[in-house]
Amino acid sequence: MQIRRMGKEDIKQVCTIENKTFSHPWSDKSFLDAVNSEHDIYLVAEENDEILGYCGLWGIAGEGQITNVAVSEGHRNLGIARQMLEVLLHEARKDNLTDFTLEVRVSNAPAIHLYHKLGFVDAGIRKNFYEKPTEDAIIMWLRE
Ligand SMILES: CC(C)(COP(=O)(O)OP(=O)(O)OC[C@H]1O[C@@H](n2cnc3c(N)ncnc32)[C@H](O)[C@@H]1OP(=O)(O)O)[C@@H](O)C(=O)NCCC(=O)NCCS
């Protein structure tokens, strides 16, 4: 498996995972904008031309807002998300991003566990942040 920058040619497979995973999926245009932005970092995990997962962040004023993390259903619990996020944070630090934030559904135990293992700490709750189903978000930060 290799972890590398997402390219335009990956977006079709990325959207297949995105649409299966989220009730408010990003459009292919959103991924295209992200891939084309010089301030953003989007990565895929790929094996034999199959995209197994992806993640990415927007870089703004020294901070990285992690917007997407997903692994296809048949490949979860193998450490793929952890490896992708470690590479993402490494690449971001090279771009002088020092502090990172994300939101996660309060019920998303695997993701919360993973972010805590990477050093993220809970910083607050956004009430009813998510729709379909309505749910609070935990705001997390990883600071230098
Ligand atoms: C969250 C997600 C990205 C994790 O990807 P992954 O590749 O399976 O993650 P990893 O294998 O690197 O790590 C998963 C960790 O969660 C743990 N885990 C799995 N199920 C769990 C559960 N129900 N409760 C607590 N921890 C759990 C695993 O044991 C593992 O931790 P460990 O390394 O200490 O054993 C993946 O489950 C996914 O795509 N979910 C749907 C999309 C999503 O929720 N994205 C996050 C949005 S904020």
Domain residue limits at 135: 2-142
pLDDT of residue 89: 98
- The percent of residues in the chain predicted with pLDDT above 90, rounded, is 99
Best residue among 76, 112, 117 to mutate for probing ligand 1's pocket (most ligand atoms within 8 Å of CB) is 76
Instruction: Please report, to the nearest 10 degrees, the dihedral formed by the alpha carbons of residues 138, 23, 77, 123 taken in order.
Output: -10
16 pLDDT exceeds 90? Answer: yes
Would you place residue 94 in the very low, low, confident or very high pLDDT band (cuts 50, 70, 90)?
A: very high
Q: Whose alpha carbon is nearest atom 32 of ligand 1?
A: 114
- The region, left, alpha or beta by phi > 0 then psi within -120 to 50, assigned to residue 49 is left
Taking the CA atoms of residue 114, residue 115, residue 121 and residue 124 in that order, the dihedral angle to the nearest 10 degrees is -110
Could you identify the atom of ligand 1 that is nearest to the CA of residue 55? 3
How does pLDDT run across 56-75, given as a tens digit for each residue?
A: 999 999 999 999 999 999 99
Residue 26, pLDDT above cutoff 90: yes
pLDDT band at 13 (very low <50, low <70, confident <90, very high): very high
- Predicted confidence (pLDDT) at residue 40 exceeds the cutoff of 90: yes
Q: How far is the centre of ligand 1, averaged over its atoms, from the C-alpha of 68 (Å)?
A: 14
State residue 144's pLDDT score.
83
Tell me how far the alpha carbon of residue 82 lies from the centroid of ligand 1, in angstroms.
8
What was the pLDDT predicted at 76? 98
| Short-list 61, 82, 84, 78, CA closest to 4 | 84
**How many structural domains is the chain composed of?**
1
- Which CATH number goes with the domain that contains 110? 3.40.630.30
Mean pLDDT of 79-100: 97
Which residue type sits at 75?
H
Model pLDDT for residues 109-142, shown as the tens digit of each residue: 999 999 999 999 999 999 999 999 999 999 999 9
